[in-house]
Structure 1
């Protein structure tokens, strides 16, 4: 009898234990939980020739930023692929392209694969989420494309907590917040410990301006969520944003120091850099004193983890850290970068951060103004791109253009209009 996975896909293993462990690993990856790597290890122990378990193991390593291990694991999967089905071979090929950093090819392979095998969730996942292959495409219409992608897949999944949560995020990012929250509640009812679901619910509550409700929900949900979970640090960033909005400075710094910053988190380096830079500067713009040592520590972390430009969403946050830490040489390198999916936008943003650090508000305005119309290309969620929205508005206010600032923010991001305050 042919064994199938949780989503009904035939598997090239005859070991029930391998199938069960594989299913558990996939579920943990889709829920951003802890233990996926160990689950795939168990699947391999039950059947060392199970190619898809090695591919799953490779994917689990990427969620820990252990790319050397990921490359070794996917190479093993490729070496075993001849014994696997055509579907599994295509699954492994898409995963291998993603791990090799071949984003365009990985996206092409993923799209072709899910057209034939829409319920191959671990491959479908590569193009979902704002940090997926669509999210980091550098395209102006990426939010609409993500919505179209999950809309095509949703009918194939029925009452599936993972796909429902992915579509709910796409709804949220295209401005359909009420529908997003309703669908997310359904997804969380099916799997309350889905960290992606909790994360996307936080996004919906943020878009609705529900500071108190959002903070209460997330602080309660995170009780019991393992610190090694891939979203632990980023969920903490959402909590810190709400602490800032609440005026709870002590709560803000406790969260930053215990769960977000470079010394205190197990998060992926991309989250450490982007979340820390964003919360520090958003606090600074709100009039909260930010110790220079915080910027220096983050700057050192960026230089160690991302020595070469090329990931545009990281690059704009790296540029912010360098600017605020006074690292002119490193900042200049980013301002000259020619690599990355939105390098043409990274350059003026880097120059804008430099101008802001020097309190050259007119210069900052000149650099940021042409960026704002295409800022979506830089990647990240609406909540993350609010760093640029608030920075732009703050620059206008520094120049005394208060009415223009209010017009811009109420037109572009009314949910954060109440957060406008010129930095002290």
Structure 2
């Protein structure tokens, strides 16, 4: 009898316990809960010839920022997959391309693979998120493409909590908030401990302006979430952001120092950098004093973890940290050499941060004006890109352009227009 995984895909292992460990690893990975790497290792221990268990281990180790170990695991997966079936070889190849730093080729491999095997969730997952291969493509219209991607996959998965939550985020990021919330609630009813589901619910509630309800829900949910899990720091950022919007500075700093900032967060460096930079500057915009030491620590963290440009979403936040810390040489490197999927936009954003640090509001406006029509190319969710929206509004206010600032918020981010979290707003 052919052994199949939870999604009905045939597996090359003949050991039921290896399959069970593998399914556990997939579920933990897709729900962003801690323990996936151990589950995949348990599957390998049960069957050392199980290629897909090594591939799953590689993905889990990537999310633990253990890149050398991940590369070793995918190398073993590729060796074992040579004698496996077409699905296993395609599965391993897509993940191997990602680990090799070839996002364009990896995305093409994913698209080809899911046409034949749409329920191969660990491969489909590579594109199904704002932080995935579509989300970080740097392309105009990436949000619509992500919606098209999950729309095509959703019927293949039926009543599946993971796929529902992925599609709900796509709906949210294209402005379909009610539909997103309804689908997210269905997904969470099936698996209440799906961290991706709680995360995307937070995004929908943010877009709906449900600050109090969202804050209450996420504070309670996060209390039982293992802080070693990949989304703990980012969910803490959402808590900090809602506390900021509620005017609760004490709770905001508690969330920052407890789970967001370097030394507190245990997640991926890109999340630590981007979340910390964003909350610190949004706090400043809201009129909350930020100790210069915080910016210095973050600038050092960015320089250590992102010494070269190329990851555009990280680069704009690294540039912000360097500008606020007064690290001119670090900032200049990004402003002059930024490359990557949206390097052409990173450069003016970096210059704008430098101008803002010097209180050169005219210069900042000139640089930001080059980017505001295309901020989706920089990556991240709409909630994350509100850093730029609010920065632009603040610059307009500093130049006395109050009505233009108001018009900009009303037309671009109406959810923030009624009570803008910007102290300079009259």
- TM-score, with normalisation over the residues of structure 1? 0.99
Partner of 1:336: helix, strand, or coil? helix
Q: Which residue of 1 aligns with 2:105?
A: 105
* Equivalent residues of 2:368, 2:392 under 8 A apart: yes
Q: How does 1:15-34 map to 2 (within 5 A)?
A: 15-34=15-34
Q: Which residue of 1 aligns with 2:165?
A: 165
* Equivalent residues of 2:365, 2:396 under 8 A apart: yes
Tell me: CA distance 1:366–1:183, structure 2 relative to 1, closer, same or farther (3 Å).
same
Give me the whole-angstrom Cα distance separating, in 2, the residues matched to 1:254 and 1:273: 17
* Equivalent residues of 2:397, 2:424 under 8 A apart: no
Does 1:118 find its partner at 2:118? yes
- What are structure 1's unaligned runs of at least 5 residues? none
* Equivalent residues of 2:4, 2:11 under 8 A apart: yes
Offset at residue 263 of structure 1 (A): 1.1
Q: Deviations over 1:373-407 (max 9, x none)?
A: 01100000000000000000000000010000000
Give me the whole-angstrom Cα distance separating, in 1, the residues matched to 2:401 and 2:339: 35
- What are structure 2's unaligned runs of at least 5 residues? none
Q: Which residue of 2 aligns with 1:153?
A: 153
Q: Deviations over 1:135-178 (max 9, x none)?
A: 00000110000000000000000000000000000000000000
* Equivalent residues of 1:128, 1:166 under 8 A apart: yes
* Equivalent residues of 2:65, 2:268 under 8 A apart: yes
Q: Which residue of 1 aligns with 2:422?
A: 421
Partner of 1:172: helix, strand, or coil? helix
Q: How does 1:316-355 map to 2 (within 5 A)?
A: 316-355=316-355
Task: Please say which of residues 13-22 and 77-86 is displaced more in the overlay.
Answer: 77-86
Q: How does 1:2-151 map to 2 (within 5 A)?
A: 2-151=2-151
Give me the whole-angstrom Cα distance separating, in 2, the residues matched to 1:410 and 1:423: 16
Q: Which residue of 2 aligns with 1:217?
A: 217
* Equivalent residues of 2:161, 2:190 under 8 A apart: yes
Give me the whole-angstrom Cα distance separating, in 1, the residues matched to 2:406 and 2:66: 44
Partner of 2:341: helix, strand, or coil? coil
Q: Which residue of 2 aligns with 1:363?
A: 363
Give me the whole-angstrom Cα distance separating, in 2, the residues matched to 1:225 and 1:232: 7
User: C-alpha root-mean-square deviation of aligned residues, in Å?
Assistant: 0.8
Offset at residue 420 of structure 1 (A): 4.5
Aligned residues: 424
* Equivalent residues of 1:208, 1:415 under 8 A apart: yes
Offset at residue 338 of structure 1 (A): 4.1
Q: How does 1:280-319 map to 2 (within 5 A)?
A: 280-319=280-319
Q: Which residue of 1 aligns with 2:182?
A: 182
Give me the whole-angstrom Cα distance separating, in 1, the residues matched to 2:422 and 2:230: 33
Offset at residue 422 of structure 1 (A): 4.0
Partner of 1:374: helix, strand, or coil? helix
* Equivalent residues of 1:394, 1:420 under 8 A apart: no
Give me the whole-angstrom Cα distance separating, in 2, the residues matched to 1:166 and 1:291: 38
- TM-score, with normalisation over the residues of structure 2? 0.99
* Equivalent residues of 2:390, 2:422 under 8 A apart: no
Q: Deviations over 1:179-220 (max 9, x none)?
A: 000000000000000000000000000000001000000001
Give me the whole-angstrom Cα distance separating, in 1, the residues matched to 2:32 and 2:247: 30
Give me the whole-angstrom Cα distance separating, in 1, the residues matched to 2:316 and 2:223: 32
* Equivalent residues of 2:128, 2:150 under 8 A apart: yes
